[in-house]
Each structure stands twice: as C-alpha cells, then as structure tokens.
Chain A
Amino acid sequence: MTPAYVVRRIGFYVLICAITLFFAVPMLWIASAPFDASPGLGVQWPDWTLDNVRKTFDHPYALHSMVNSLLICVTTAVAVTAFAALASYALSRVRIPGRDALLYGLLLLSSVVTGTAAMVPIFVMMFQLGLIDSRFGVALVMTGGLLPAAIFILKDFVDAVPKSYEESARVFGASTGQILRDVVLPVARPGLATILVWAFVNSWGNFLVPFLLIRSIDKQPGAVLLQTFTDEGGSANLSVIPVFSLLFSIPVVVLYLLVNSRYGFRFHGGIKS
C-alpha cells in the first residue's frame, strides 16, 4: 500500500463517481418533475402532488398521441419482422443469383441512406403520393428504413440455426410449408422477438419522419407532440411535459428490461435517427 497506490485508487473512484454523476444528474428531472406542484425546469425536492398527472390525462391530445405512437410503431414492428423474416430465411438458405452483392448493397444502404440525407426526397415523394398527414405513410417510410439492418441481424440468426432440423423433417416427408411453419418458426422465435422489440423501440423514438410527414395535431405521435408542447411553452404545458415524458419513456424501458432479462442484452447498432 504505497502512497502512490492510494492516490491512484482515490483518483480512480473520483473518476467513476464523476462519470456516474454526469449520467445520473440529468435523469433526476424525469423522476422528480412529474410530481412537483410547482414544476420549474430544474431538479428540486418536489412538493409532492399528482396534480400534473391528472392534468396530463385531461389533456385533449396527450393520451391520444400515445395511441398514434402505438398504431405507427406496432404496424412498423410487425411489418419489419414479417418481411425481414421471409427475406433473411431465403437469403440464408437459398443460393439466389447475386446474393452476395445484394447483401453487401443492403449493408451499405442501411448506413448511407440516413433519415437526414433522404428527408427531402421522401418529403417530396410522399407529398406527390398524397401521403402527407397519414400515419400509414409514416409506418411505411420507417419500415423501409429499418428493413436492411433487420435482415442482417436476422440472417445472422438463421445462419446459426442448424440445418439438421429441416433435413430430418424433410426426410420424414414434410412439405416446405410445414417445415417453415412447424420447424423453422419455433426455432427462430427468440430472433423474431428481438427484431420485433428492436424495430418497435427504434420507431418509437423516431422524431424526424413523423415530424416531416404529419401536419395535424390529432395524428401526431408522442415524439412530435412533446416537441409541440416544448415549442409552445407556457405554464400549462410545463406541468404536462414531465408526466408525458415519463409515460412516453415507459414502453421502451420496459421492453428493454424484458429483452435484457430473457435473452441478455445483445448489442445491435441500429439506425438511430
């Protein structure tokens, strides 16, 4: 236990504490502000009340926007999972001509064509298709954006599934449809669940696409409505914003904990826009 060693250990703990504080302090706001009778913007020991929660539930658009978010994100997650599952199985098991080039192209696409870089043409395209202000249009755009990465993650997963299951089912005379339904689908369930959650979380937090494409307030998902509150400011919104932020964060946190406890948190970079 030399003095130098002690100094080093102390420095080490100070560093860890500083980093932890950096991550923890901004989060305190979301825990205290929703229940504070005089919600400023800062963190203080709140004057406990559930008044803000009531105000939020009474707000004409707050809960409505959660429903919009659910509609858009469930549609997106289901579409991404279904189409990525079909494509990744075929790409994993069948030698489609030009398969390798296609996979390489998908990999490039998923990182090159970001929401930001494609925002103007997508806006113009949806404008000309008459899909501005349509929740379905938002789900379509998000699905297209998430598919390449989803196909990649799932293809890795299917590649790791032993082929012997399918082989033996085939030996016993099962048809292709039966094999896919009764053999491949059950084995692939964890992978599909992961993609479902991944796509849902990614679209839940997506601000840019609905912000571009949705104009009327009654169709806005939560991510955009929160921004609308922020722009308007005012004391009425100051009591709604914290509660709304908390409510809006619950689904992604719960899903993350669920996936984490069941499969362990496996890290997939996604298109976070």
Chain B
Amino acid sequence: MPGRPARVRGPAQDVAGLGVGRALGFVAPALLLIGAFLVFPAVWTIYIGITNYRLTGVEAVSPSIVGLANYTKALNDALFHNALWLTCLFVLGSAIVGQNILGFALAWTMRRARPAVRRTVEGLVLLAWILPSTVVAYLWIAFFDRDTGTLNSILGQQGTAWLIEYPMVCLILFNTWRGTAFSMMLYSSALQAVPPSQLESARMVGASGWQTLRDVVFPHIRGHVLTNTLLISLWTANDFSPFLLTKGGPNHESETVPVYIYNVALQGGELGYSSAISFLLLLANLLVALLYLRLLRRRS
C-alpha cells in the first residue's frame, strides 16, 4: 500500500484519444489477475471455512458443509487463543514500541547529524530492511545460537539457547531490526513539517528536550504517528517470518496467527479450520485498513 493518501484527481482528460472501450481493455489484464489471485481467494476462504475440507496425504477428501462448526471450534481452541495473544505481543513489542520508537529516535537524531554519519546510519537501517527475509532470519539464528552465537560471545557466556528459552523476545528483536526503516523514513519526512521557528522559540524559553517533543513536535506529527502505527501493526500481524526463526516452537511458544494458520493447514491438513481462521484475519485486516484510510483522508 503506498504510504500516502490516495488522490483521485478531478476530471480525467483523455488527451491521447484512448476512449472508454480501449481503456477498459487496458485495465482488464490487471483486473483479471487481481481477481483471480486476490479477490477470488478472499471470497473462497469464506466457503472453505464453513466446510470440513481436509488434506490427507496426496488426496483431498471432498468436503461437506458443516456451517459454523469451525468458528465454534476456534472459540474453544486454546492454541488459537495462544496464537492471538502471541500476535498481540509481537505487534506491540516489535511494531508499536520497537519500530515506532526506534524509527522516530533515528529520524529525530539524524536531522542534524553530519551528512556522512547520517548516510551511514540510514544506510545500515535500510540495508536491514531490503535484505531478503530468509537471509535476515538466518543472520539472527546465527546471532542467538547457543554454542557459537554472537550474543553469547558478547555476554562472555556459553550455553544459553536464546531462541528456545526466550523465543518471543528474539522474534521481537528480529522484527524490530528488520522493519524500523519504514518508520524512520516516514518520520524523517514528517519532521520536515515542524516549523524551525517554533523549535527555536522553545529553545529560547529553555524548554527541555522532552517538553519540546511533547508540546512542539508531537502536535505536528500526531497524524503520522497514528497512521504509521496502524500500517506497521497490520504488516506485523500478517508477517510470516517468525516461522523462519522458530516454526512456532518450542511447544507453540512463538506460534503467532500466521504460523498457526500454516501449521493447521499444511502440517495438520485441516484446510477448513485454517480457512476459518484466515477469514477472521481478513476481517481484522479490513477493519484496520478502513480505519487507516479514514484517518488518511481526514489528514489530507
């Protein structure tokens, strides 16, 4: 999703003389693909979610409709509740707190840093963001390793298997590291809207750094903080990369909703039940996205 308001401009002028017929032809291939691989799957989830569709070995057993049984199952499924709670923890720790605060701190401190320092630090953070997720996951597996891991050698100790003992803490660190760049860039551009004269007068009256941030800077970027938080929370809640580090283990201790959906569907073969959970995730995404668009529109 482009990180800025959707602008639907005024009257379109068909200067090249395309005509509505041909224009529809131009839009058709894209719409067909989007329809087949985004809209249809989303709608079909609703149907699979009310059946008992199972995958057993190589043969799919033909499904029959079981109504809302999958949803009542989700209500009483302790593992699903566990996944919901872990997802909230993951979003709160790595997006709302981690990426948001680190991203803002970087944007704020780099404003007046020397260009060389700024380029280096921003480059590092962006590099963490563009590296393929499988590579980043392995980087952190190496970092947390029990015997030869970097973390244990920094702490001068041996034998803590961090990914097994504190899986959620590791995942939150990993995802904060990976996603901070987006918030940093967004806040960098948002901070340009703060008038220097106001910062100057805050300094004149001897306001502390915190007071300046709270009373001068924050009112200007409140909208950005809100929309950014919504967007990165949505991405984090849907992020499959925890699977790459822990597969949801040990013993379901890091099984967030996306990982749970995968494990139920492709390890357990319960396609019907996992579709019901997928549909709940779709609904949650829809709520957040609608809220996001509404806030964006109010801001512009």
Contact = CB atoms under 8 A, between A and B. Distances in A.
Most central of A86, A121, A208 by chain B CB within 10 Å: A121
Interface in B3-41: 3, 6-9, 11-20, 22-24, 26-27, 29-31, 33-34, 36-41
B50 interface: no
B29 A109 contact: no
Interface string A50-83: 0000000000000000000000000000010001
B90 interface: no
Contacts, number: 322
B109 interface: yes
A90 interface: yes
Q: How many A residues touch the partner, as a band?
A: 35 or more
Interface residues of B, number: 106
Contacts of B286: 108, 112
Q: State the majority secondary structure of interface residues on B.
A: helix
A47 interface: no
Contacts of B113: 16
A265 B126 contact: yes
Interface string A222-249: 1110110010000000000100010011
A171 B231 CA distance: 45
Most central of A28, A169, A212, A245 by chain B CB within 10 Å: A245
B289 interface: yes
Contacts of B139: 26-27, 29-30, 245
A41 B149 contact: yes
Nearest to B117: A16
7 contacts: A108-B290, A120-B271, A121-B275, A123-B266, A152-B2, A223-B132, A271-B1
Given A29-B150, A40-B145, 8 more contacts: A28-B150, A42-B145, A94-B12, A94-B14, A125-B40, A143-B33, A207-B244, A269-B3
